[in-house]
Amino acid sequence: MNLSRLALTLTLLPSGPLLADTFERDQALKLPDVLISANRQVEARNDSSAANTVFTREDIDRLQPGSVTDLLRRVPGVQIGQTGGRGSLPGVYIRGTKSAQSLVLVDGQRIGNSTSGDSNLQHINIEQVERVEVLRGSRSVIYGSDAIGGVIQIFTRHGGEPGLQPRMHVGFGSNQTWERSLGLSGGDEKTRFDLGASLDETAGINRTRASYPSDGDHDEYRNKSVSLSLSHALTDDIEIGANLLDNRGKSAFDNPFGRFDTTTFESVQQQPYSDFAVSSISSYVDARVNEIWKTRVEVGHSENREKTLDKLSEERSVFNTYRDSVNWQNDLTLNDRNSLILGGDWYEDRINSSTPFDEDSRWNRAAFIQHRYQADSFSTELGLRRDQNQQFGGQNSWSGTFTLPLNPDNDLLLTYSEGFRAPTFNDLYYPDFSNPDLKPETSKSYELQWRSQLTESSRLEASLYRTDLEDAIIFGSNSRPQNVASARINGFEAALKQELFGWQSNLGIAIIDPRDRDSGHTLARRARRTLSLDLDRQFDRLGLGASWQAVSSSYDDENNQQPLGGYALLGLRSSWALNREVKLELKVDNLLDKGYSRALYSHDSSQYGYREEGRAWMFGVTWTPEI
């Protein structure tokens, strides 16, 4: 079945869990109007209770982002705070929550670092990505820990059409940046595959201003990536498959603080860098047992490894985390009005570190159930999950959604959801700076969504929400983490998609008020207002586009004493199809060469902002020969 027929069938068939029995997941990955992450099943986007944004490979090729984080900045309610240029560690703030309170998946596997809670999204090569789905709002009933702010799921490249489709991309740009990638996808009626490899290199920028002379160099970055997806239909009702993504390389960074030598009691200059690896591998069996029952079993393994070294000394540190997981989900279509999801999760985290931890492993197991009822004039969704964790014991999570269709073009959704985040290994067991008695952070969220098909070419999705955080973990006066903080986040976000005079526009707006409930201060590094606008048009072989992103001011610290200025960035892009096989691409980011910072650092009792990349250009050639 080709994609055009698949899309047409999608518009004609009943919505909901039946879609998972009708379409293969590999083919659904190509479509913009379906969603997989919300309930781990293929469903129409408009039928999901989650506020969501979807980027297909077609969107990625059109927008020409340099990284996954560049793509995420376009999502209303998502803010990215990096510490200087390509390859630097990003803070990911979904609806005002912090990085560790949002879950990041690759092909269904958790890739977050279990020591720090960081996702290391900066190392996921965009050339190996087929699709990105972003869920805004808690999804703890389906995913458990960490999904307080939302879920980001990245799907690696998948084969779709029969035959062989090779691809090659070469790009060159500012700061001696090179992008190179090769790929081959294809298959037949029973087997599909995609194999890709890429190498990105850049001389980078000097991320800090005031610093030791040894930190005055540019911070280079190198990323080698390999991806593989393979699926095979044993019968009409049973499919097996596997997915692999491996990113590894070298990332240099500045350390304006230097290293404190306990022997001489002086700061020592450094030229630090890290060797990193972020990888995941998974396999699955997908089976339709009968007309009402579909089951899927996934087994996965992910690794997040980092070795930090210094060119000026023999010192090194190692922080490696490993995770094994099993997920079993059953989708039951009981009748035309009732459907049920039943499932269980198990995963185990392990660490291997040069720093000795009091504990180096823990497991989590869970069971969940979610019921959906579809009436003529409304629908409901009710879910419950129970997690049992080796460290903190049990945790329940509830969620419920009431959907009221006002007419065929307008829906109102009212949602209540609970979430939690388990403390990391650093929180619990890091020597001298941890607290093994910590409880999970918890949240309660309330949301009102309006979804409207304003015209045939215009669609509006808007949300009002409130999230209350309790037992939030902060460092106390004794330099140990404690469950003492609480926060309240109020927000509004809207996404407008419209086509006018041949131009395709996507506008995203978010306004949030994220406050510490005890002090009344604004949470650190959260801007109150963000805006993103993309305009694109295709003139036969020529494609033109522009992006505008605006971010208001914020604070770098919890006491609101260190302000971060707002900024606005303009980017332009173009593409030219020389023929059916060769396409040229040119883009300029930060066209106005705006200087801005998303985070601060201290040096000699003064505050400075980490440098972000100024005006930068990239020229590329993509070759997709026909075989």
Asked if the model's pLDDT at residue 16 lies above 80, the reply is: no
**Lowest mean pLDDT segment, chosen from 138-142, 159-163, 288-292, 526-530:** 159-163
Residue 219 has pLDDT above 90, yes or no: no
Q: Measured between alpha carbons, how far apart are the two ends of the chain, in Å?
A: 20
pLDDT of residue 20: 37
Where is average pLDDT lowest: 208-217, 338-347, 383-392, 413-422?
208-217
Q: Could you tell me the CA-to-CA distances from 408 to 7, 175, 496 in Å, in that order? A: 20, 51, 18
3-state SS, 310-341, equals ECCCCCEEEEEEEEEEEEEEEEEECCCCEEEE
User: Residue 160 above 80 pLDDT?
Assistant: no
66: helix, strand or coil: coil
Is pLDDT above 90 for 253?
no
Is the confidence at residue 316, as pLDDT, over 60? yes
pLDDT interval class at 477 (50, 70, 90): low
pTM attached to this predicted model: 0.93
Backbone angles phi, psi at 12, to 5 degrees: -100, -20
Q: For residue 306, what are its two tokens?
A: 């980092």
Q: What is the CATH code for 159-623?
A: 2.40.170.20
Question: What pLDDT score does 245 carry?
Answer: 97
Rounded Cα distance between 446 and 435, Å, is 31
Q: Scanning the structure block, which residue is given the tokens 């999970």?
A: 440
**How does pLDDT run across 584-601, given as a tens digit for each residue?**
999 999 999 999 998 888
Distances in Å between the alpha carbon of 30 and those of 27, 35, 157? 6, 11, 10
Q: Determine the pLDDT at residue 89.
A: 86
The pLDDT of residue 268 is 63
Lowest mean pLDDT, pick from 156-160, 393-397, 531-535, 607-611 = 607-611
Partnered with residue 362 across adjacent β-strands are 349
**Whether pLDDT at 9 is above 50:** no
For residue 8, the model assigns a pLDDT of 42
**Would you state the pLDDT for residue 260?**
56
Alpha carbon distance 471, 184 (integer Å):
49
Higher pLDDT, 113 or 167: 167
Contacts (Cβ under 8 Å, ≥6 apart) of 360: 350, 351, 352, 353, 425, 429
Burial environment of residue 209 by CB neighbours within 10 A (0 to 12, 13 to 18, 19 or more): middle
Q: How high does pLDDT run on average in the chain?
A: 90
Name which residue leads in pLDDT, 126 or 309.
Answer: 126
Mean pLDDT of the region 510-528: 94
Model confidence at 140: pLDDT above 50 = yes
Distance in angstroms (rounded) separating the CA atoms of residues 494 and 151: 18
Specify the higher pLDDT residue, 202 or 269.
Answer: 202
**Proportion of the chain above pLDDT 70, given as a percent:** 93
Average pLDDT over residues 191-209: 92
Phi, psi for residue 63 in degrees, rounded to 5? -80, -20
Beta bridge partners of 464: 448, 492
In this prediction, residue 2 carries a pLDDT of: 45
Which residue's structure tokens are 């409207």? 452
Q: What is the per-residue pLDDT for 5?
A: 41
Q: What is the mean pLDDT of residues 209-224?
A: 81
Q: What is the mean pLDDT of residues 232-238?
A: 92
> pLDDT value at position 117?
87
pLDDT at 379: 97
pLDDT value of position 141: 96
pLDDT at 602: 76
Distance CA 3, CA 617 (A): 34
Tell me how far apart the alpha carbons of residues 32 and 14 are, in angstroms, rounded to a whole number. Answer: 17
pLDDT of residue 61: 96
Quick check: 621 pLDDT over 90? Answer: yes
Q: What's the pLDDT score for residue 267?
A: 61
| DSSP letter, residue 531 | E
Residue 264 has pLDDT above 90, yes or no: no
In this predicted structure, the answer to whether residue 259 has a pLDDT above a threshold of 80 is no
How far, in Å, CA of 245 to CA of 231, rounded? 15
pLDDT above 60: residue 415: yes
